[in-house]
């Protein structure tokens, strides 16, 4: 919703909360990758319903929460959806942050809790080695000119996200749940049912279909057969892949050690020791060899002129991993995850 409306408005909050305007054109396509303009709300229709919300008064949005509620009402008006008694009360409004390594506490600098009856935060996780490989394959194959390593902050966010730092419990923030992508793909109905139960909401069949405004859409994915457009519960995103393009077997072992705490917290199988079983000297030895993916990032970034040759990607990655493992605190807790309700568990 925000991506559609952003083309018409800029607000104080757009730098923090609005994504790339072109994003919807990449993620609202048919099976051939062609943009489906029918999914868009027309500007004149949007303006008509926006003016109706303010009853002829000057359009003025008091806060981010006010903006979201007004947009939700206008958007539903454009689609011909009637308000129920009580206005927007009783509706869940999905606000997709779509930001790597999102800090939940950040949202409460903008949201006034009194503006909403209930605020919940939902994260989707994926087996971290597979997620890192998928990110690398997409970034380095599809978008070589936009290598994240040229921006230290962005690259740090990617690495921290794979280590699960975002989902370590934070004092005073309890309204967070996590869902695994693997569960959404392998048990879509049972997982969505569990999500609806958590939200005290009704399950609809549309929750298992990839649609925008009731129109089925496709989205880009880098698969073993190259770049493709997929939809629905396509299993390619969770199917075990050959990682050798960017990871050696030794890289995989080391990453599984680094990700061990995160993997255990979210029920992912891991057959290697946890890094807390190693001394600091052993951890430094563990990371003494280069990572294949870091070397490839370095090579492409220098070739494309995105990175100064003096910047060492392997050293950068090594320091991030070491800092995380050395500073890890025993007893660290993670936010819980929603498990699918399977027939033999009900």
How many whole angstroms separate alpha carbon 244 and alpha carbon 75?
Answer: 45
What Rg do the C-alpha atoms of the chain give, in angstroms? 22
How many whole angstroms separate alpha carbon 207 and alpha carbon 194?
Answer: 12
Is the whole-model pTM more than 0.85?
Answer: no
For the chain, the average pLDDT equals 81
Residue 305 φ/ψ, nearest 5 degrees: 75, 15
Between 219 and 2, the more confident residue is 219
The DSSP annotation for 252-265 comes to HHHHHHHTHHHHHH
Give me the pLDDT at residue 307, please.
66
pLDDT, mean of residues 54-70? 81
pLDDT at 100 over 50: yes
pLDDT band at 16 (very low <50, low <70, confident <90, very high): very low
H-run or E-run covering 216: strand 215-216
pLDDT at 194 over 90: yes
Tokens linked to 293: 């993916």
pLDDT band at 2 (very low <50, low <70, confident <90, very high): very low
How many whole angstroms separate alpha carbon 193 and alpha carbon 191?
Answer: 5
What's the first-to-final CA gap in the chain, in angstroms? 35
pLDDT band at 230 (very low <50, low <70, confident <90, very high): confident
Q: Are the beta carbons of 145 and 304 closer than 8 angstroms?
A: yes
Q: Which residue has the tokens 């309204």?
A: 175
Domain ranges in the chain are 1-118
Q: In this predicted model, what pLDDT tens digit does every residue of 126-151 receive, in sequence order?
A: 999 999 998 888 777 755 545 566 55
Q: Are the beta carbons of 323 and 341 closer than 8 angstroms?
A: no
How many whole angstroms separate alpha carbon 256 and alpha carbon 269?
Answer: 10
Q: Which residue has the tokens 């454009």?
A: 78
Pairing of strands 219-223, 215-216: unpaired
The DSSP annotation for 168-214 comes to B-BTTB--EEEEEHHHHHHSHHHHHHHHHHHHT----GGGGS-EETT
Q: Percent of the chain at pLDDT above 70? A: 84
Query: How far is the CA of 229 from the CAs of 131, 147, 188, 245, 289, in angstroms?
Result: 18, 22, 20, 21, 36
Alpha-carbon torsion angle 280, 283, 288, 292, nearest 10: -150
């Amino acid at each position: 919703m925000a991506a559609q409306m952003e083309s018409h408005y800029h607000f104080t909050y757009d730098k923090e909360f609005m994504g790339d305007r072109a994003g919807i054109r990449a993620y609202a396509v048919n099976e051939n990758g062609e943009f489906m303009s029918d999914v868009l709300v027309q500007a004149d229709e949007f303006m008509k319903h926006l003016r109706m919300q303010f009853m002829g008064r000057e359009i003025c949005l008091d806060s981010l929460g006010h903006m979201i509620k007004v947009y939700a009402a206008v958007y539903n008006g454009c689609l011909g959806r009637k308000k129920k008694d009580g206005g927007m009360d009783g509706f869940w409004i999905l606000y997709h942050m779509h930001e790597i390594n999102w800090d939940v506490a950040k949202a409460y600098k903008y949201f006034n809790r009194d503006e909403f009856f209930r605020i919940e935060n939902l994260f989707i996780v994926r087996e971290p080695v597979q997620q890192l490989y998928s990110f690398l394959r997409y970034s380095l194959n599809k978008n070589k000119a936009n290598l994240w390593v040229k921006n230290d902050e962005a690259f740090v966010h990617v690495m921290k996200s794979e280590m699960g730092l975002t989902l370590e419990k934070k004092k005073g923030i309890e309204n967070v749940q996590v869902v695994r992508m693997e569960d959404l793909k392998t048990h879509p109905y049972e997982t969505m049912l569990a999500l609806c139960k958590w939200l005290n909401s009704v399950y609809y069949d549309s929750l298992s279909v990839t649609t925008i405004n009731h129109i089925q859409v496709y989205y880009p994915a880098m698969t073993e057969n190259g770049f493709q457009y997929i939809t629905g519960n396509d299993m390619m995103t969770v199917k075990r892949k050959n990682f050798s393009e960017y990871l050696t077997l030794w890289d995989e072992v080391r990453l599984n050690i680094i990700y061990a705490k995160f993997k255990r917290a979210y029920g992912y199988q891991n057959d290697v020791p946890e890094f807390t079983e190693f001394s600091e000297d052993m951890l430094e030895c563990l990371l003494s060899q280069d990572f294949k993916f870091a070397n490839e990032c370095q090579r492409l970034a220098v070739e494309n002129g995105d990175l100064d040759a003096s910047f060492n990607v392997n050293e950068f990655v090594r320091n991030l991993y070491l800092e995380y493992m050395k500073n890890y605190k025993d007893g660290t807790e993670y936010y819980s995850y929603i498990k699918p309700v399977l027939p033999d568990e009900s």
